Amino acid sequence: MLKSLKKFPQKTSTFVGEVKGELRKASWPWDPDPKVKGFKKYKELVDSTVVILIAILLLAAYVGLWDLVHREVVDFLTQLGRD
């Protein structure tokens, strides 16, 4: 147990170094050109966000519609059982 605790700082340092290396390789959703300023710098990020919001709205409408249909079917079947 004591040996593994002694290696902890070294393993942590190695892990953090590897994470930094991987983050440098990542493709970030903004323009790295320092000349680009304002809204244009974040165009890819904004476009991706809009796509995600539209997808969420469509999914919510789909789920809501199916919920309404199933509720009406269950209500109809329940009414048949009462008569």
Q: Which two tokens stand for residue 70?
A: 């199933």
CA distances from 16 to 12, 23, 29, 60, 83 (A): 6, 11, 23, 39, 69
Q: What percentage of the chain has pLDDT greater than the value 90?
A: 54
Taking only the tens place, the pLDDT of each residue in 16-54 is: 999 999 998 988 777 777 787 877 788 888 899 999 999
Cα angle 21, 24, 28; round to 5 = 145
Q: What is the pTM of this model?
A: 0.58
pLDDT value at residue 69: 98
Per DSSP, the three-state class of 28 is: coil
